[in-house]
Amino acid sequence: MTDINKESISVLNDLIETSKDGQEGFKTCAEDVKHPELKTLFVQRAADCAAAAAELQAAVRALGGDPETSTSVAGDMHRRWVDVKAMFTGKGEEAVLNEAERGEDHAKKAYEQALEKINKHNLVGIRDLVERQYHGVQRNHDQVKALRNQARKAG
């Protein structure tokens, strides 16, 4: 396996963990909100993250690698922290949206770092895929942030 393939696989596997974290995070958000439209949005975002992870896993296999299949330790710890914090502060819509936005901030940063590595190592074979998914992450982030801002005004 070439060094470029190894580096590409490493970048993609990091993004698989990020996507799996997003999937789990949005599932948790869907469980924690009462508002039906928000619940539907979070369920759809979880499905989008699952589809992104599957697409990244297919790309890793195409490069001859073993795709990541789990969430990150940091993501698992964050979800546990959110659960503990919620025991004391409640799980209102604004709080859930704050945590969703925090997760999307992390995803955005992970994709930006991946794109930096892609450009640094000239990993052209995966650039289009990662850029396309990054634009989806940006849209998710902006939508969650707008919803959070609406919840703040309403609250």
Helix (H) or strand (E) holding 20: helix 3-32
Residue with tokens 């589809």: 51
68: which DSSP letter? -
* Domain spans in the chain, listed from the N-terminal domain onward: 3-154
The second-level CATH assignment, the architecture, of 3-154 is: Up-down Bundle (1.20)
Distance of alpha carbon 118 from alpha carbon 126, whole angstroms: 8
Local confidence pLDDT in tens for the 155 residues of the chain = 788 899 999 999 999 999 999 999 899 889 888 889 999 999 999 999 999 999 999 999 999 999 998 776 666 665 566 655 555 556 688 888 888 888 899 999 999 999 999 999 999 999 999 999 999 999 999 999 999 999 889 87
Q: How far is CA 153 from the centre of its chain?
A: 26
pLDDT at 96: 86
Model pTM score: 0.88
State the angle between helix axes of 3-32 and 73-89 in degrees (0 to 180), rounded to the nearest 10: 20
Mind listing the pLDDT tens digit for each residue in 82-96?
655 555 556 688 888
Distance of alpha carbon 154 from alpha carbon 43, whole angstroms: 23
- Token digits of residue 31: 């469980």
pLDDT at 33: 85
pLDDT at 34: 87
